[in-house]
């Protein structure tokens, strides 16, 4: 067994519902799969002395899970005042409309189609609820509408699917673009270097204690995969499926369809830069 402290980002053990930082509590959704890992992390955020809370990514349309999120807030003496989305994939956002009904909250997201209410989210926005401050960080790449939320009081960032607690992220071609994703990782790295971010609260997988370490690992991993794809094309593997079979031969075949999305994004990137 590998020591967690030796893994990228220093994962904090297993994924469990419960407190993660002074202001963040995880309620794990019951939707485990090869793509969602242990399930979707729904984050309940609040200042320690506040009776108002923010929920990030209510998760799938699962009545039991949505009510578990509410119960977690109520047991802490808090009322959910706002719902935020990191992006629109169903495992993060499908339950948002129902959760808004249960809580009477608005839903804020980058994509207007996902919003309930007049306000969206954009780069540079600062969301404040009950003294809690969240800074909106645009991180397109996994999807075009992906956002992260910087929680400065805890030195933490909520990353949705941009950075996972275990493994690496799919660039969901054609909506996701590799160039955007690399820029987003560099943006996150600047948070770790310049803004004191040390903890990653991901959309899936365990909390990470070394934010800079995992972002550096992601950047190196992407560079390595890109070089592998370039070499595979030079060796005559012409189609995305052929590249996947060659480059991702050591990866569970159940993940090959997702890997093909990333390969398509990498091929686009190599073509755009005149490399292939």
Catalytic residue among 91, 161, 180, 210: 91
User: Around Cβ 18, how many Cβ atoms within 10 Å?
Assistant: 9
Q: State the Cα–Cα distance between residues 26 and 41, nearest whole angstrom.
A: 6
Alpha-carbon distances, residue 104 vs 94, 101, 207 (angstroms): 17, 5, 29
In 3-state terms, what secondary structure has residue 25?
strand
* Annotation marks residue 91 as catalytic: yes
**Residue 130 CB: number of other CB atoms within 10 A?**
17
Strands 107-108 and 79-84: parallel
Q: Which alpha helices (DSSP H) does the chain contain, by range?
A: 63-75, 90-93, 96-103, 178-194, 211-234, 240-247, 256-272
How far from each other are the two terminal CA atoms of the chain, in whole angstroms? 40
Identify the CA nearest to 110 among candidates 142, 149, 133, 138: 138
> Which residues does the annotation mark as catalytic?
91
């Amino acid at each position: 067994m590998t020591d967690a402290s030796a893994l990228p980002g220093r994962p904090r053990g297993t994924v469990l519902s419960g407190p993660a930082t002074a202001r963040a509590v995880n309620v794990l959704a019951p939707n485990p799969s090869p793509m969602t890992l242990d399930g979707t992390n729904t984050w309940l955020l609040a200042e320690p002395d506040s009776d108002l809370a923010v929920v990030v990514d209510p998760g799938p349309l699962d009545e039991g899970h949505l009510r578990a999120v509410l119960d977690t807030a109520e047991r802490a003496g808090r009322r959910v005042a706002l719902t935020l989305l990191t992006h629109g994939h169903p495992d993060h956002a499908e339950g948002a409309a129902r959760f808004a009904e249960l809580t009477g909250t608005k839903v804020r997201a980058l994509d207007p189609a996902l919003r309930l209410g007049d306000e969206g989210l954009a780069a540079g926005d600062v969301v404040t609820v009950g003294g809690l401050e969240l800074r909106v960080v645009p991180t397109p790449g996994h999807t075009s509408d992906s956002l992260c939320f910087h929680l400065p009081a805890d030195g933490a960032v909520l990353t949705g699917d941009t950075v996972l607690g275990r493994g690496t992220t799919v660039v969901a071609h054609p909506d996701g673009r590799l160039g955007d994703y690399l820029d987003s990782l560099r943006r996150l790295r600047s948070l770790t270097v310049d803004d004191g971010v040390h903890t990653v609260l991901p959309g899936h997988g365990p909390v990470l204690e070394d934010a800079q370490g995992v972002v550096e690992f992601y950047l190196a991993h992407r560079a390595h995969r890109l070089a592998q794809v370039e070499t595979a094309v030079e060796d005559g593997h012409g189609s995305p499926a052929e590249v996947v079979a060659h480059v991702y031969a050591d990866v569970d075949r159940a993940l090959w369809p997702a890997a093909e999305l990333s390969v398509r994004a990498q091929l686009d990137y190599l073509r755009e830069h005149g490399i292939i």
